[in-house]
Amino acid sequence: MKIFKSKHKLQKALSNQKSLSFVPTMGGLHKGHISLIKKSKKFKEKVIVSIFINPKQFNKKKDFTNYPRNLKKDLSVLKKLRVNIVFIPNKKDIFSFRPKSSVYLNSFSKKLCGQFRKGHFEGVLNVVNRFLEIIKPKRIFLGNKDFQQLVLIKKHILKKKINTKIVSCKTVRERNGIAYSTRNSLLSINEIKIASKIYRILSKEKKKLSINLKKVKEKIINAGGKNIDYLEIYNINTLKKSNKLNKNTKLFIAYYLNNVRLIDNL
């Protein structure tokens, strides 16, 4: 496993590589990340994993500062997975150049998380666009837990005619149903129990023929969920709100447990 901390050294090493599988991360690696990496290895291409906590996608400085970091553990995980290349750039390496492609932000960015996290998706697309230019991967692997982010990256790649294919990967969950997230490590034991209850409520509601979102919100609040940013049904093909649950729709939620913001879709 080769570790690069310099953009220029990485690009020099990649100059003759035509088929790269890329898994972008902000570190704090968990089983969700591991599933992305394992899927990327199935394509028999060199796998490159980035670790970069992008300051531009955080709305609050405190959230950026408190984001879990454990580089030593992350590198140990990546070594066991036999990842070929790890890229750990600094802020200057990523933001000191002008990308050839400008960021395309689809109108879907104003929905769901976009209503509550101003500038978040601009920050995400900004850094992903830069990574794609630096690495030029054949494929990029992204999780369905961050469905809105995945869609916006896909729209950007298509609009800008970037020669990278998105491979979407299913959401990986803990035994209690909670979707794996780096932020889960910030939850107390009691908060984990509440998050598990909320997942069970949503799973049960998802199976019903009709759903009353107002009543579901009440159930979530009674279970201990506070400050619900949104609980919405969206058609995943048209990217528009719906009032029905079917094979073309998903239930999307964002809520807080203490100061930890959790998102999910079922």
- Yes or no: say if 201 and 231 are a contact pair by the CB < 8 Å rule: no
78-114 per-position pLDDT tens digit: 999 999 999 999 999 999 999 999 999 999 999 999 9
- In the structure, what pLDDT confidence band is assigned to residue 59 with cuts at 50, 70 and 90? confident
Q: What is the DSSP pairing of strand 165-169 with strand 139-143?
A: parallel
The secondary structure of 31-63 as a DSSP string is: HHHHHHHHHHHTTTSEEEEEE---GGG-SSHHH
Whether 33 is a known active-site residue: answer yes
- Yes or no: say if 128 and 266 are a contact pair by the CB < 8 Å rule: no
List 8, 30, 33, 156, catalytic entry: 33
Mean pLDDT of 134-143: 96
Q: How far apart are CA 192 and CA 260, in angstroms?
A: 11
147-166 per-position pLDDT tens digit: 999 999 999 999 999 999 99
The amino acid present at 168, given as its one-letter code, is S
Q: How far apart are CA 122 and CA 81, in angstroms?
A: 32
pLDDT above 90 for 71: yes
Residue that is written with structure tokens 């972008």 in the block: 24
Residue that is written with structure tokens 């528009």 in the block: 240
Structure confidence at residue 65 (pLDDT): 87
Structure confidence at residue 60 (pLDDT): 80
**Of 60 and 191, more confident:** 191
169-226 per-position pLDDT tens digit: 999 999 999 999 999 999 999 999 999 999 999 999 998 878 999 999 999 999 999 8
Structure confidence at residue 142 (pLDDT): 97
Q: Which CATH class is domain 2-169?
A: alpha beta
Q: How far apart are CA 124 and CA 129, in angstroms?
A: 9
How many residues can be counted in the chain?
266
Structure confidence at residue 63 (pLDDT): 82
The gap from C-alpha 32 to its chain's centroid, in whole angstroms, comes to: 10
User: Which pair of tokens denotes residue 259?
Assistant: 């100061």
Q: How far apart are CA 160 and CA 2, in angstroms?
A: 31
User: Which pair of tokens denotes residue 33?
Assistant: 């990340």
Domain boundaries, the chain: 2-169, 187-261
Mean residue pLDDT of the chain comes to 94
